[in-house]
Structure 1
């Protein structure tokens, strides 16, 4: 390797030169008046030599630029190959020698001029890449094989295709020393052209010229030697060939050199700008889609090249679907032969021109033989042309043999033409067993009568003969046992156990053999002895066995609030009153009271007052009065008034008031006037 010493001032200068060089390449350097921008080492007294990085004709002020001059990255190795000095070099002596330079940015490379020490028999390959270590073939610019005598030469490497990358790497095929002096890429400045960039673009160019041929590059929308002709209006983006005026591309819908041709309306999208060919819309064909598919094509869809229908409408066949199908088809027929893929319903045969038998289920039969897949009701046979026997249940029989699948009620046999045995309402098809007997019969063939004790002698179990229902008053499997006489006749007893469903009044228990409690009201109790209508007054408990006044003193009527509690009195005996849930004694002479301070009735009606502590007036007949003291009967002892406390007039034995006597004393006449001589008078009427 050649030893290198970096000078920061030199590096800074080189960066400035590179930037200025880039500006000079992108701007015009030579003008129509024949002058060019100077890139010479000294521009003050004519051009004797070119500045570093520049070459070409000194007469044209060095217009050939080396675009790789000092175009290396700050951290690149092997920078001597980009210093513009052919006296310095980079060298590699490894077993697989290579020299790689890192550009300061990615660059498009089409050609490289490489000054190199050539070794006979060696192959030199140049790579342009973005990955430092990649060596794939598609990154290889080109290869040069040298078979001469060892020498230093500048070799042009023209890339097979433009490559873009930030690394340039040179590799040899032999284990030898690889020495590279310079890697260069040349380009003329804008306004100059030719091998040595010694020519200036013609004055007639309105834009720049080609840097190799000098041919003018026209501005957009113009063409011709002097770029004074306008591109056809149908050129896309107004771009046309600067020499011929042919459009580079056409606006959508046009084609041809001048884009004068219009794409067919049948094109799916835009057409080819050269030929006018396109992908067709549905319903069109030919290269330019100018031909319509015939109407017999299904959905008007045909092949673009031939116009053949992709498929036909129902009933047609052939390439153009112009022939009728050869038969009565279900939908389409085969497009190439015209034969039906499937026959229409009700048809069969090679050409589907035969008719299935009318009794084929669904009007469907075998395509080849015409045999029915299945038969409608009442029909059987391969072609369903036979009628099922009349007694087949549901009019259904085996479609091959005609045997009934099941007989109507009352018939048996394969064809159901035989009657079931006597008393058999429904039997097995082979007649071996009856499934249902007439009322009053049972057995395998309904040959035995049910027991007479079966309810109404109607029905019994077909296998055992056990009665389904018993006559009133009987129970048991054969209704041979009599219900208890104490069962309520309206409900009788259970058919299996004989238990009474309900008892006659006063009876209880499963067979109603026991009596209800004598204190049940109306002697009515349930099967478990509970009194249904409650207890007689003065008794309590579920079976009314307990007397109220045993548990509650002087209680005439009581009841349970809760079965676990003691009874509660709801009515007391005479001369007692309800005090909460118990009875308290009324005042002494009370026969009925609601408290100990107020009587409602007095004993024997001989007393009165709030507490019955006052005797009735002795003049009250039988000494009886109500609680207010008013006599309840007539007055005696010549008294009158509500309480018999007033005296009748003299001579009256009884009176209604002070003026009206009802009877007179002895010795008084009818007017209760004293009789003469003390004679007894006749009683007043």
Structure 2
């Protein structure tokens, strides 16, 4: 049975013993508990608050959270039972005890794996190595030359003495003694069991020879059986075993390993090139190159950029040349300028193309042919100036003015010779004759029987006309008393003359002649327009009887004009 279930049973037994009435009323519902009195809750273990809705904090447990937890070392306290749940590395009912040596972790159930007498962290199981050992499980001795706790100490043994990895004490080779094996048993320069042999080493290059074997111990920078050989290139120091770090052709000191940089480089290992603008040994000299020329970090010589030459690159390429060293010849044509850097051509106004070999395209002019010709009626414009080349018949700056009347040709410079109102073509000066005229200069009228534009139309058959039709309009020139397109219609009453354009002025019923408008008075009237009454006159015997008076009329013998009062010779 779980602790929570057992606790619940105990709680119900407790309620029974105190005689809690289940009939009590609480205004707020007891969330985790029972109402034992009006507005009074009895909380279950692990809960508190007026209505038992608040869980116990980490330091309290039991009903109403009234009991204080006894757990130690960050252990968790059960809010219902008060039991302690220990953190890793601890045990005991209050978690007050560390794990036994050799165990660690939750409930101290895990076994430590540390070696060589190392102690194990009771929480994580991490090994704490004793002096002289290293590794995750302290399984390794300190590396050669190191000793002590965490192998943090450096051995001080010399002359081939071996260092004890735990304490750092030295185990000397035969022929040496002292705390660090620094004492040579034989006097300097001698060796052997009786110290009666002379060392064969080169004295200036040797610390000493081995007191037993006579082996030479060379000074830094020297090697060989007798310490009479310098270090090989790239090595230095004791026994020439250390590798030089010098770069870029630097010299390495065989003793110290210090680098002597070649010109153009600097830095401890001579890996850094000279900063821009400097050159030489230790980059101590200043460059004198101009126009962004590249300065050699070694000797300061200038490598000119394209378009420049001279020792310090201060001189532009001569005209007509370009490129590195000004060794290339410009190819620009028609006055184009050559870029000394890359040889590209800057064309003169009016030209284009890689070599300025092409004139501007139609409609463009000027530098780079970037301008547009502003011409209306022209054969393009001048590629350099943009001046419009006017077509014949046009003039003006933009060729937008047609030639004035009487002028023609380029810029309207030629006079016209057309006559009789003819127009002159501004393009070629040819005369465009007005209707009714012909000839090179329109000096003649149409031939009889023709009229109109270019005299191309045939006259109609005029009936009562004075001749062929009009050379301009083609109209018939009617005789007096006739009208109509063909002059075949007699004048209507009260009209007379050519084309019947006149109105008769006869009065008192007089007859009007369609030919000349003469009035023929009725009896009793007289006068030019028959407006005067005729006075009675006595008759004389033998005189004719005349009832009326009028201008004499010719006899009407022509059937077509009978009764019109027209002349008979029409």
Do Structure 1 and Structure 2 share a fold, with TM-score over 0.5? Answer: no
TM-score, normalised via structure 1 length: 0.21
Larger RCO (CA under 8 A, 6+ residues apart): 1
TM-score, normalised via structure 2 length: 0.25
